[in-house]
A and B are shown apart, each in its own frame.
Chain A
Amino acid sequence: MVHALREIWRALTPGGLLLDLRPLSANMPVEVLGVERAAVAGYLDTAPEAYADDRAADAAMATVERDGLFARERDGAFDFLWYWDTPEEMQAFIAEKWTDTHLSEEVLVQTRRLMADTGDNTRVRTSANVIISRWRRLGR
């Protein structure tokens, strides 16, 4: 990661900006949305390796900051949401696209139960907490 950041520093103009956007590996809720309310059915399982990846990314940014390549200017965070019409569509998407995250059978069953109880016009969603930081390229 540090090598990649050094390459980015090389490709940026002096004073240029690096924007780091990435989701944190935390418990991602599975929520059933009705017309008037949302109910949490459970949480997605996250592999332990994902937490290690978060720490490694933070450490890499700290290294290039310490080395005088970038200066941190601003931090923020927001929720990024995914929506599906059915829990089966959510399950298929997660299985195909997300390597570090798993939807357990228990949460899937609870999601179906909540959707059946909530009635028509329900959807299911999950969300990730995404951090964003702005870094100024230093030096010549």
Chain B
Amino acid sequence: MSLQRDPEETEIKHLRDFADFSGARVLEIGCGEGRLTWRYASAAGWVVGIDPDPARIGVALSDCPPTLRSSATFALAKAESLPFPRETFDRAVLAWSL
């Protein structure tokens, strides 16, 4: 498959322009296979990606780059019932999921 998604990196340029992720605790809702996560996670302090699809979460977990394994994690969850305490995150990203 020759697919290229957003090789111009337009999406991450806009996301970085809209919010500073430096050191932030980030919740990504609808992370899928981690396509967007990999592009900002190195700047963030801690990232949790959630998705309701177990297959996609499995891919995200297995594809997580070694350099991000201590700061990025993934969980099977839905936005309607977030398994986190109040006021856990500084940023939330709805990644094509609303």
Contacts and interface: CB of A to CB of B under 8 A. Distances in A.
Interface stretch (A39-47, A85-93, A109-117): A85-93
Given A4-B79, A20-B98, A81 B90 contact: no
B97 A22 contact: yes
A7 B84 CA distance: 10
Contacts, number: 123
Contacts of A60: 98
Contact of A79 (B10, B27, B36, B96): B10
Given A10-B82, A18-B94, A74 B2 contact: no
Interface residues of A, number: 39
Interface residues of B, number: 38
A57 B96 CA distance: 11
* SS class, residues of chain A in contact with chain B: strand
A12 B95 contact: no
Contacts of A95: none
Given A11-B87, A16-B90, A22-B98, A76 B82 contact: no
A22 B84 CA distance: 24
Contacts of B87: 10-14, 16
Interface in A69-126: 74, 76, 78-86, 89, 92-93
Interface in B69-98: 78-82, 84-98
B68 interface: no
23 contacts: A7-B80, A7-B81, A8-B79, A8-B94, A11-B82, A11-B85, A13-B90, A14-B87, A17-B90, A18-B92, A18-B94, A19-B18, A20-B94, A20-B98, A21-B95, A22-B96, A60-B98, A81-B5, A81-B7, A83-B3, A83-B7, A89-B2, A134-B18
